[in-house]
Structure 1
Amino acid sequence: MAQFDFFVVNVAAPSLEHDLHAGPAALELIVAGYAFTYAAGMITGGRLGDRYGYRRVFVWGVAAFTVASVLGGIAQSPSQLVAARLLQGLAGAAMVPQVLATISAVYPPGERARAIGWYGATGGLGSIAGQVLGGLLLTADVLGLGWRAVFLINLPVGLVVVPLAWRLLPEVETARRSKLDVPGAAGLAAGVGLLLVPLGLGNSLGWPVWTWACMVASVPVFALTWSWLRALGARGGQPVLDLALLRVHSYLAGVGSIVAFMAYFASFMFTLTLLLQIGLGLTALQAGLVFAPMGAMFTITSLLGARLVRRRGLIVVIAGGVVVVTGLGLLLAGVGQGLPYVLAALMLVGAGNGLVLPQLIGAALVEVEPHQAGIGSGVLSTAQQFAGAGGVAVIGAVFFAVAEGGREIAAMRWSAAVDLVLVIVVIVSVAYNRRRAIRRAWPERSRTAVTP
């Protein structure tokens, strides 16, 4: 639901502009407002799960997300839809971190990778469904609902998930007596907002002075918040962000890799949609169906990836990155040669993505303690959303700058080149971590060999 609603609005944007009379600023807020509250609330959502229980917060998050979706589906004005989207983002921030937290707390390390592989496959399907199912819903115009169907489709999902989750999800013991760090949560949300709002709106507004001022102001806000978190932890309190996580090298490396990968992935989906609908003249449904083979390859390889990583290690993730680079290289060279060529390149990209993304998530959480699972997942999800928003803003700006005058194919080449560099950064980072892991394991093997 969360991933679907993040991407489906891109497909529905023309209908919103026509039927709801949403101007450019309103459209930006409908898209970026969800991303902002979703990202800003992730860390607090993770901490709420640590305090009140992952099952309880997940169920309430799904229920709130369903209500917000209905409010969006019945909105009568752009401002009402913006408000519903903001509420959707907050509900998603409560809902999503509990999934990874439950996996990390319940599954032993030997089985965790497979569970996270399914989690990654589901996230990939949600992203692709935003393009494919969104196009189908708009084209079919079920019950004459038009764009409203892309929000109301969440109602039957929520009605099924809430009772099933309450009945089937395990109850995990968490530190429920801890107090919520309101100043820390507010500081982190303010800092993220000062960065995400300008990144989301700056390009369409021509980057006015206030956008740069907000991004500069985020630095002292983050600095003050960091000081508060350290001071609270030093006197025995429980800050909203557990700074001990930042001393786990595998976690930091995983977060860094995910930032690079998500900046590529989100911007690639965004610019490819623009190329298909504006540059190649496809309808929303046709553009959505182009994503289907890539989504199918992602699902297949993400499910196989966990098993391969258990057998072969991180070399599988590196190989997946190489496949992505190959697909992007083919797209870079032949994007102007027709849709079949684009489809072939996208299938390679999807296959490589499935080997990389779910395993990056698992690698980041492998050394995280169960009692830190909620906040660790929240930080990870925040990094994903911030990287996605930043990637769309920066690489999207490159696309729009080159695309002036009907040069969308050239713009796609430029954005694909930037994406290719980001994936190479991921490959190098994973290769470095693999080398460190081998070095750590070798002394243990040497000692074992000489121990009676």
Structure 2
Amino acid sequence: MTGTASSGRTTENGPHGTALGVTDDAVRDTTGATGTTGGGAQGTRAAGQPAPPGSEAAPRGGARRIVAVFVVMLAVAMDLIDTSAVNVALPSIRGGLGMGDTGLKWVVAGYSLAFAMLLITGGRLGDVIGYKRAFMTGTGIFLAASLACALAPGAGVLVAARIVQGGAAALMVPQATSLLQLMYRPQERAKVMGLFGALAGLAAALGPLVGGALLKADLPGQDWRPLFLLNVPIGAAALIAGALLLPSGGSPEPTRIDPRGNILAAIGLGLLVLPLIQGPDDHWPAWTFVSLIASVPVLVLLVRDQRVRGGRGATTLVDPSLFRQRSFVSGLALSLLVEAVMGGLTLATTLTLQEGLGRSALAAGLTTLPMIVGMVLGVAALADPLIPRLGRHVVTIGCTGLALGVLTTAWVLHHYGHATHTWQLVPGLVVTGVGLGMSMGPLFAITLQNVPAARAGSASGVLESVEQLGAVLGVVSIGGIYLHRAATHSFVAAYTFGAGAILVVLLLAILAGPALPRHFRSEEELEAAD
């Protein structure tokens, strides 16, 4: 996930001053009387009707629920840190296992491909078997695959284990948002979704720092392997705490697997994402264009199949009614654009610092800390208090601030060149982080605010897939422009061209901003709908 974020704080929760660990009388199972987030009648069951099988009450307020939320966030952070940290370790992996270029690319591409292909399916499985069970299963497989990566004797085992890791993450990650929806009432969710999104973004940003620190430690005989071993205690802690604290609810409606939809989604997304991952490094051979073209009829067939099945009242992989919600569709579109910026910006910043300015992996990670601080400020100190007053304009302000930060950094690099000092980059990186926090912040909450509880897993899978696709598109488009310039000039000079591509995408995001709902529904409105 890549770096999803949404607005929120860990303390106050709107006008009522509700804290993250609210009192017991404010907590109930969201799969209960209404089963919705205030949108539509689907997922509703009458009072007094028995709860769905396997559905349990959410952890009560106070410390117990806070720890349950932390467990979910810890597992998602583990995935994000692992993903970004591995990129830093690729040279060490190549040297340690004697991998060729193809094998090294598949260490990254195998994970990303499996993750993208199975995200929607993984989200829907949570609706079917229960969010806790799906989360625990995905976390357990991720832990085992991480151990296999750490102990891999050769390139083939490492690549295979990375593919399994990606598939496990596709099952684990979508359940995070579903579990948060299960544990919090509709009027409480925006803030905790904000906290979740902010920490997810921070985890992605901290990955290179963690990777650089572990490589710098140079444990005897271990080299890159501690990057994967780190997941073992984290995953084990998440499994133990999750078994004790997480609620076992799933969709409040009877839900089954849609085999045809799952197959079409996996094939269509695979045909779309694989050439986007491999194309730039392989100089876009003919098969990449054939694959991209072939993905179109498969995805069109998927959409048609889901509409027909939905019209008959049959089980679908993705509920077509989700795309009749303005908040969901507009949120997906903005998320795609913002994640594209994040993907391209991360690539350009990392390579400029390491290849252009000669920073070590650890030093490059430390240099980006001002951006991380800015993200925290953008989400907690600005986006959260401004949303009730400015609504969707917070996203527009965030995109504008992000553009200003990128421009400032580009000017510094252009003016000082290879003599650029870290302190000269700090102002631009802070403003960039603030812009990221304010633009990414509201999107997560606004996209899911009207999603019925019965569709939480499916909606989460779609959102994560769109974000993953956005990140890949950002690397291909923004990263492609940046790398093309770097090949003929320098990595430092290329940042200006990457920044120009980022500004174009941000302009599209600003123009698309008015498509978002005018404001977030207030707690009073959500309470009335609930």
The alignment's TM-score, normalised by the length of structure 1, stands at 0.93
Matches within 5 A, 1:289-368: 289-304=366-381, 305-336=383-414, 337=416, 338-339=420-421, 340-368=423-451
SS at match of 1:147: coil
Residue deviations 1:88-116, cap 9 Å, x none?
Answer: 11111111111111223332232211101
**Which position in structure 2 is the counterpart of 1:198?**
275
Q: By how many angstroms is 1:177 displaced?
A: 3.8
Matches within 5 A, 1:102-251: 102-175=179-252, 177-251=254-328
- Which stretch shifts more, 307-316 or 358-367? 307-316
Q: By how many angstroms is 1:6 displaced?
A: 2.1
Q: Does 1:374 align with 2:457?
A: yes
Residue deviations 1:353-379, cap 9 Å, x none?
Answer: 112213111110111111111110100
**Letter of the structure 1 residue corresponding to residue 403 of structure 2:** V
SS at match of 1:404: helix
Q: By how many angstroms is 1:176 displaced?
A: 6.7
Kindly tell me: are residues 177 and 371 of structure 1, through their superposed partners in 2, closer, same or farther at Cα, counting changes over 3 Å? closer
Give distance in 2, aligned partners of 1:223 and 1:68. Answer: 34
Q: Does 1:4 align with 2:81?
A: yes
- Identify which of 149, 157, 170 aligns with 1:80: 157
**Letter of the structure 2 residue corresponding to residue 169 of structure 1:** L
Kindly tell me: are residues 113 and 27 of structure 1, through their superposed partners in 2, closer, same or farther at Cα, counting changes over 3 Å? same
Kindly tell me: are residues 343 and 79 of structure 1, through their superposed partners in 2, closer, same or farther at Cα, counting changes over 3 Å? farther
Runs in 1 of length 4+ with deviation above 4 angstroms? none
Q: Does 1:395 align with 2:488?
A: no
The alignment's TM-score, normalised by the length of structure 2, stands at 0.80
- Identify which of 428, 445, 451 aligns with 2:511: 428
Give distance in 1, aligned partners of 2:373 and 2:194. Answer: 15
Q: Does 1:267 align with 2:350?
A: no
Q: By how many angstroms is 1:434 displaced?
A: 5.0
Mapped contact 1:279–1:406 kept (Cα < 8 A): no
List runs of 5+ in structure 1 lacking aligned partners.
445-452
**Which position in structure 2 is the counterpart of 1:413?**
496
Give distance in 2, aligned partners of 1:344 and 1:201. Answer: 35
Mapped contact 2:253–2:454 kept (Cα < 8 A): no
- Identify which of 27, 31, 41 aligns with 2:104: 27
Q: How many residues align?
A: 440
Give distance in 2, aligned partners of 1:397 and 1:308. Answer: 36
SS at match of 1:426: helix
Give distance in 2, aligned partners of 1:317 and 1:105. Answer: 26
Give distance in 2, aligned partners of 1:307 and 1:163. Answer: 36
Cα RMSD for the two superposed structures: 1.9
SS at match of 2:471: helix
List runs of 5+ in structure 2 lacking aligned partners.
1-77, 526-530
Mapped contact 1:114–1:307 kept (Cα < 8 A): no
SS at match of 1:353: helix
Give the number of the structure whose residues are more often helix, by fraction: 1
**Which position in structure 2 is the counterpart of 1:449?**
none
